[in-house]
Amino acid sequence: MFAMKTCLRAAAPALMLLSVFAVPATGQTHGHVIIPADKVEWKPGPPTLPPGAQMAVLAGSPMKEGPFIMRLKFPAGFAIPPHRHPREEALTVISGAFGMGTGEKHNRNAAPLLPAGSFFVMPAGTAHFAWTDQETVMQVNGVGPFVVEYINPDDDPRKKAAK
């Protein structure tokens, strides 16, 4: 029984990813969706991220309840201050390199830059921060709504934009 529970717990991120693929970008719950790389539509990033980020929604809607898949593009020298998400996220580095460390203080020495092809799962509620040294594209698979809760409320770009 213990082995089965451990196996199911280990498989949970993969099961979440499979459920996410059932909701194409069109909002339909069936059908086949293909988005060639040159047809990915980049738009300004969500207001919860610092200026300069871009996003492309591939499936679902990160702003609504339910599974979503989006890509985030960050310029070189981009930083996301320490924050949390209320739901688990599965992330893949598509291109470039992504620095991501856990904790409530931004410390680039706390973790290495992850090269393209790297994958990680961020458990809900884990304080973490991120940075790039070069243009980087990430794919985020999660369950919406996509929420960013900054450790220091003054780091929230929505507050800076309102001033």
Tell whether the torsion through CA atoms of 55, 60, 66 and 70 is positive or negative: negative
Alpha-carbon gap, residue 110 to 123, rounded angstroms: 18
Could you tell me the residue range of the domain that residue 64 belongs to? 2-162
Q: pTM of this prediction?
A: 0.80
Q: Which of 54, 140, 136 is nearest to 96 (CA)?
A: 136
**Phi and psi angles of residue 106, each rounded to the nearest 5 degrees, phi first:** -75, 115
> What are the distances in angstroms from CA 94 to CA 12, 18, 118?
22, 19, 8
| Dist. CA 45–CA 160, nearest whole Å | 15
Nearest to 122 by CA among 94, 88, 97: 88
For the chain, how many structural domains are there in total? 1
pLDDT at 162: 66
**How far is the CA of 72 from the CAs of 44, 77, 163, in angstroms?**
10, 15, 25
pLDDT tens profile 19-38: 344 344 444 455 788 999 99
Tens of pLDDT, residues 4-19:
444 444 444 443 443 3
- Per-residue pLDDT of 101-139, as tens digits, reads 999 999 988 888 999 999 999 999 999 999 999 999 999
pLDDT value, residue 131 = 97
pLDDT for 161 equals 65
Which pLDDT value is given to residue 17? 40
CATH number at residue 24: 2.60.120.10
**38-78 confidence digits (pLDDT tens):** 999 999 999 999 999 999 999 999 999 999 999 999 999 99
Q: Which residue has the higher pLDDT, 93 or 14?
A: 93
| Segment 136-158, tens digit of pLDDT | 999 999 999 999 999 999 999 99
Q: What is the pLDDT of residue 20?
A: 40
Cα separations in angstroms, 11 against 8, 18, 44, 138: 5, 11, 33, 22
Mapped onto helix, strand or coil, the DSSP state of residue 162 is helix
Q: Find tokens 């339909």 and name the residue.
A: 28
* CA dist list (Å): 155 to 44, 48, 71, 83, 129: 19, 10, 22, 9, 12
Mean pLDDT of the chain: 85
